């Protein structure tokens, strides 16, 4: 009863957010609707990361590599192989998903500390490849001329394309997190050993979580490549990995929409503060310290937590 | 198959070395189906380590473990759990920020084999199974309380409840009554004993409190310095010279 009520509320909330975003995109000047597009893409990125962080209790310190893999997969196949946009989109997804399974498998060999460190190591490795394999990726110069889907090349129409794709992803993620699978994930977050002693292969389960997270991270990466009409090594930088985690922390990782709010905060601060302060990430640091020590759980906090009492 | 009862758990020459220390030393243990067995012994006798070896929480240095005739020595813990061995730990391993209901729900999901079911909503699923278990461990009132906010005694009950979701045929309890009041301890052990009878679960429990042991165990195994030195009825153990010496020796030192 309580649960369905809450879900009803969050449905209304989601619809309201979508309507407001849509109206804003049409009414606002173009550079601001582009800002909203960026927020929506990063919201998906953060939500994908949060499947691991908030729901399963894992610490993916290098998640931007799958954002970059999706983007490079899509960009390269469009430009170098001349694939149609749809096929390149699907292949980019396949690449980021498959790599998240392979890399995930290797990262899960040890304990949770090893996981985070290996994750960073792979992130650095791939970022270096993107930077130095100039004949393929263009190095610093990146790949330019990456296409958007033909009917959505304008700023506003592309915005609606992004909104639709992200919405579909959100529905998938939400359904997954509300399922049996999602409940077991929460158990894993709370006590991995207990889950193991309840007859569940914890490593295999985490691998599936990584796969899902990698899939949706890849979607975000591809959308980003489309938005920027290019792919650059910064798409898999450690800074971006860290920002993704910050979005989860700031917005509230124990809620579904928290990371999206975090994404909005981080992106907006990045957009405006960067014109005044060159080291605007320092400001993010301050906000995180405030959120972690002051809020215990970010802007959106589930009422029902032990630490929140 | 001695005496008409089958052996549910058997260890053969089970050994665990920690460096030069042999924590478990050639243990041969046979637990019969349906019995309630206590394992006693002074601190450091290797009781918890023995349970760890059976559930492969740590790897044995030698020897074999059989469950229902099948060797499980090198199976991963989760596989052993899904075969029907439930484990309760000395320090409760719960899901602190989930409700008592959800704690047991996860175990029922595992039992039903729907861990990877991504598209069926959680709402109300397994309500009956979970509520039955909450009832049987006396936590019905606490259904929506967070596990981390329960009293210590209730957490011990929930720990037992979680493993019941697995519908185990063998329950391994590590000091189920440690840290709770004597009255509550008796309630807990009474509960375990009832469950053992009602759901025909075999129970092995580690216990320090001799009153509990003599009251609830059908047979008692005594461990000392990594070895099982004797097994017998509570009456036999009470009158055993060696056992007396070990316990007296411990009080003296």
Tell me the chain B residues in contact with residue A193 when contact means C-beta distances shorter than 8 Å. Answer: 93
Instruction: In whole angstroms, give the CA distance from residue B123 to residue A6.
Output: 12
Residue of B nearest to A177 (CA): B118
Long-range CB pairs of A9-13 (<8 Å, 24+ gap) are: A10/A256, A10/A257, A13/A257
For A17, how many CA atoms within 13 A lie in the half-sphere containing its CB? Answer: 17
Instruction: In whole angstroms, give the CA distance from residue B149 to residue B155.
Output: 9
Lowest-pLDDT choice from A10-14, A113-117, B69-73, B145-149: A10-14
Alpha helices by DSSP H, listed for B76-126, are 77-82, 100-112
Tell me the chain B residues in contact with residue A6 when contact means C-beta distances shorter than 8 Å. Answer: none
For A85, how many CA atoms within 13 A lie in the half-sphere containing its CB? Answer: 14
Query: Could you give the angle at which helices A155-177 and A2-27 cross, rounded to 10 degrees?
Result: 170
Tell me the chain A residues in contact with residue B165 when contact means C-beta distances shorter than 8 Å. Answer: 198
Top residue of A187, A192, A205 to mutate, by most chain B CBs within 10 Å, is A187
Domain residue extents for chain A? 24-238
Top residue of B118, B155, B161, B167 to mutate, by most chain A CBs within 10 Å, is B118
Q: Supply the ipTM of this predicted assembly.
A: 0.90
User: What's the gap in Å between the CA of B160 and the closest CA on chain A?
Assistant: 12
Tell me the chain A residues in contact with residue B106 when contact means C-beta distances shorter than 8 Å. Answer: 183-184, 186-187, 195, 198
Q: Helix, strand, or coil here: B108?
A: helix
Which residue in the set B78, B106, B149 is minimally distant from A183, CB to CB?
B106
User: What's the gap in Å between the CA of A63 and the closest CA on chain B?
Assistant: 23
Which residue do the tokens 């084999």 mark?
A: B113
Q: Which two tokens stand for residue A303?
A: 């009422």
**Mean per-residue pLDDT over chain B, rounded:** 90
Given an 8 Å threshold on Cβ–Cβ distance, is B119 in contact with A175? yes
The continuous run of DSSP H or E covering A128 comes out as helix A112-132
For chain B, the residues whose C-beta falls within 8 A of a C-beta of chain A are 55, 76-79, 81-82, 87, 93-98, 102, 105-107, 109-111, 114-123, 125, 146, 148-149, 162-163, 165-166
Given an 8 Å threshold on Cβ–Cβ distance, is A179 in contact with B121? yes
Q: Which two tokens stand for residue A273?
A: 């503060």
Judge whether residue B123 has pLDDT over 70: no
Q: DSSP E strands: which ranges in chain A?
A: 143-144, 230-231
Instruction: In whole angstroms, give the CA distance from residue A216 to residue A266.
Output: 20
Given an 8 Å threshold on Cβ–Cβ distance, is B115 in contact with A196? no
Query: How many residues would you count in chain A?
Result: 309
Query: Could you give the angle at which helices B182-198 and B127-136 cross, rounded to 10 degrees?
Result: 130
Given an 8 Å threshold on Cβ–Cβ distance, is B96 in contact with A193? no
Given an 8 Å threshold on Cβ–Cβ distance, is B109 in contact with A184? yes
* A147 DSSP 8-state letter: P
Residue of B nearest to A206 (CA): B116
Tell me the chain A residues in contact with residue B94 when contact means C-beta distances shorter than 8 Å. Answer: 190-191, 194
CB A288 within 8 A of CB A298: no
Given an 8 Å threshold on Cβ–Cβ distance, is B122 in contact with A197? no
Residue of A nearest to B167 (CA): A198
Query: Could you give the angle at which helices A30-50 and A258-276 cross, rounded to 10 degrees?
Result: 130
Model confidence, pTM: 0.89
Instruction: In whole angstroms, give the CA distance from residue B26 to residue B14.
Output: 5
Residue of A nearest to B163 (CA): A198
Query: Could you give the angle at which helices B152-164 and B182-198 cross, rounded to 10 degrees?
Result: 10
% residues pLDDT > 70 (chain B): 95
Per-residue confidence (pLDDT) for residue B190, from 0 to 100: 92
Instruction: In whole angstroms, give the CA distance from residue A60 to residue A54.
Output: 11
Tell me the chain A residues in contact with residue B78 when contact means C-beta distances shorter than 8 Å. Answer: 196-202
Per-residue confidence (pLDDT) for residue B124, from 0 to 100: 67
Given an 8 Å threshold on Cβ–Cβ distance, is A190 in contact with B94? yes
Q: Helix, strand, or coil here: B37?
A: strand
Residues facing B32 on adjacent strands: B7
Number of helices (H), then strands (E), belonging to chain B: the values are: 9, 10
Instruction: In whole angstroms, give the CA distance from residue B227 to residue B222.
Output: 8
The continuous run of DSSP H or E covering B63 comes out as strand B62-67
- What is B224-247 written as a DSSP string? ETTEEEEEE-HHHHHT-HHHHHHH
User: What's the gap in Å between the CA of B63 and the closest CA on chain A?
Assistant: 22
Q: Once rounded to an integer, what is the mean pLDDT over residues B131-137? A: 92
Per-residue confidence (pLDDT) for residue A306, from 0 to 100: 46
What are the pLDDT digits (tens) for B153-208? 999 999 999 999 999 999 999 999 888 888 989 999 999 999 899 989 999 999 98
Instruction: In whole angstroms, give the CA distance from residue B110 to residue A197.
Output: 10
Q: Once rounded to an integer, what is the mean pLDDT over residues B67-77? A: 94
Shortest CA distance to B134 belongs to which of B117, B147, B148? Answer: B147
Q: Which residues are CB-neighbours of B181 under 8 A, at least 6 positions away?
A: B153
Tell me the chain B residues in contact with residue A200 when contact means C-beta distances shorter than 8 Å. Answer: 78, 110, 115
Which residue in the set A3, A175, A198 is minimally distant from B107, CB to CB?
A198
Tell me the chain A residues in contact with residue B125 when contact means C-beta distances shorter than 8 Å. Answer: 180
- Give the residue ranges of chain A where pLDDT is below 70: 1-9, 277-278, 294-309
Given an 8 Å threshold on Cβ–Cβ distance, is A197 in contact with B119? no
Cα A85 to chain center, whole Å? 22
User: What's the gap in Å between the CA of B51 and the closest CA on chain A?
Assistant: 13
Which residue in the set B77, B121, B148 is minimally distant from A197, CB to CB?
B77
Long-range CB pairs of A99-106 (<8 Å, 24+ gap) are: A99/A65, A99/A66, A99/A69, A99/A214, A100/A66, A100/A210, A100/A211, A100/A213, A100/A214, A100/A215, A100/A217, A100/A218, A101/A207, A101/A210, A101/A211, A101/A214, A103/A65, A104/A206, A104/A207, A104/A210, A104/A211, A104/A214, A105/A207
Q: How far apart are the first and last CA of chain B?
A: 42
Given an 8 Å threshold on Cβ–Cβ distance, is B93 in contact with A193? yes
Per-residue confidence (pLDDT) for residue A100, from 0 to 100: 97
Residues facing B221 on adjacent strands: B39, B231
Per-residue confidence (pLDDT) for residue A301, from 0 to 100: 63
CB A199 within 8 A of CB B124: no
Judge whether residue B67 has pLDDT over 60: yes
Which domains can be identified in chain B, with CATH numbers? 1-84+168-180+201-253 (3.40.50.300)
CB B90 within 8 A of CB B54: no
- What is B170-224 written as a DSSP string? EEEEESTTTTS-HHHHHHHHHHHHHHHHHTT-EEEEE---HHHHHHH-SEEEEEE
CB A235 within 8 A of CB A224: yes
Which residue do the tokens 């263009």 mark?
A: A138
Question: Would strands B219-224 and B36-40 be described as parallel, antiparallel, or unpaired?
Answer: parallel
């Amino acid at each position: 009863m309580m649960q369905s009520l809450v879900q009803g509320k969050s449905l209304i909330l989601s619809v309201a957010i979508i309507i407001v975003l849509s109206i804003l995109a049409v009414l606002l000047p173009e550079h601001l609707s582009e800002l909203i597009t960026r927020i929506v893409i990063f919201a998906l990125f953060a939500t994908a990361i949060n499947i691991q962080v908030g729901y399963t209790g894992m610490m993916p310190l290098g998640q931007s590599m799958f954002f970059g893999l999706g983007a490079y997969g899509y960009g390269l196949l469009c430009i170098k192989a001349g694939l149609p946009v749809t096929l390149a989109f699907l292949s980019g997804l396949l690449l980021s998903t498959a790599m998240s399974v392979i890399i995930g498998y290797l990262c899960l060999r040890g304990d949770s500390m090893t996981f985070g460190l290996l994750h960073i190591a792979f992130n650095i490795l791939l970022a270096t490849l993107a930077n130095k394999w100039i004949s393929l990726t263009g190095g610093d110069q990146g790949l330019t001329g990456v296409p958007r889907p033909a009917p959505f090349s304008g700023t506003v129409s592309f915005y609606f394309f992004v909104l639709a794709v992200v919405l579909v992803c959100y529905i998938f993620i939400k359904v997954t997190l509300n399922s049996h699978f999602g409940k077991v994930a929460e158990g894993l977050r709370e006590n991995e050993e207990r889950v193991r002693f309840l007859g569940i292969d914890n490593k295999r389960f985490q691998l599936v979580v990584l796969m899902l997270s990698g899939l949706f991270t890849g979607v975000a990466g591809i959308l980003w490549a489309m938005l920027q009409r290019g792919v650059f090594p910064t798409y898999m930088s450690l800074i971006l990995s860290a920002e993704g985690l910050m979005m989860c922390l700031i917005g509230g990782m124990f809620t579904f929409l928290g990371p999206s709010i975090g994404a909005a905060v981080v992106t907006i601060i990045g957009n405006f503060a960067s014109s005044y302060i060159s080291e605007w990430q320092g400001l993010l640091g301050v906000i995180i310290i405030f959120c972690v020590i002051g809020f215990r759980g970010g802007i959106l906090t589930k009422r029902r937590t032990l630490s929140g009492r | 198959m001695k005496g008409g009862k089958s052996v549910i758990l058997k260890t053969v020459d089970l050994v665990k070395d920690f460096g030069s220390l042999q924590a478990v030393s050639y243990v041969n243990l046979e637990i019969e189906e349906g019995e309630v067995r206590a394992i006693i012994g002074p601190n450091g006798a290797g009781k918890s380590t023995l349970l760890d070896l059976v559930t492969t929480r740590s790897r044995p240095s030698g020897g074999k473990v059989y469950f229902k005739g099948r060797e499980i020595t090198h199976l991963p813990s989760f596989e052993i759990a899904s075969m029907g061995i439930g484990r309760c730990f000395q320090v409760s391993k719960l899901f602190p920020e989930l409700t008592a209901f959800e704690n047991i729900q996860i175990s029922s999901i595992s039992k039903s084999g729907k861990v990877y079911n991504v598209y069926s909503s959680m709402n109300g699923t397994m309500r009956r199974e979970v509520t039955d278990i909450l009832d049987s461990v006396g936590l019905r009132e606490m259904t929506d309380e967070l596990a981390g906010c329960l009293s210590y005694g209730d957490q011990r009950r929930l720990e037992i409840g979680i493993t019941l979701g697995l519908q185990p045929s063998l329950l391994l309890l590590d000091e189920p009554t440690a840290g709770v009041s004597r009255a509550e301890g008796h309630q807990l052990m009474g509960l375990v004993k009832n469950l053992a009878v009602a759901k025909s679960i075999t129970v092995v429990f580690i216990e320090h409190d001799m009153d509990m042991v003599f009251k609830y165990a059908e047979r008692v195994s005594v461990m000392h310095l990594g070895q099982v030195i004797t097994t017998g009825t509570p009456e036999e153990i009470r009158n055993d010279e060696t056992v007396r010496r070990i316990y007296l020796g411990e009080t003296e030192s």
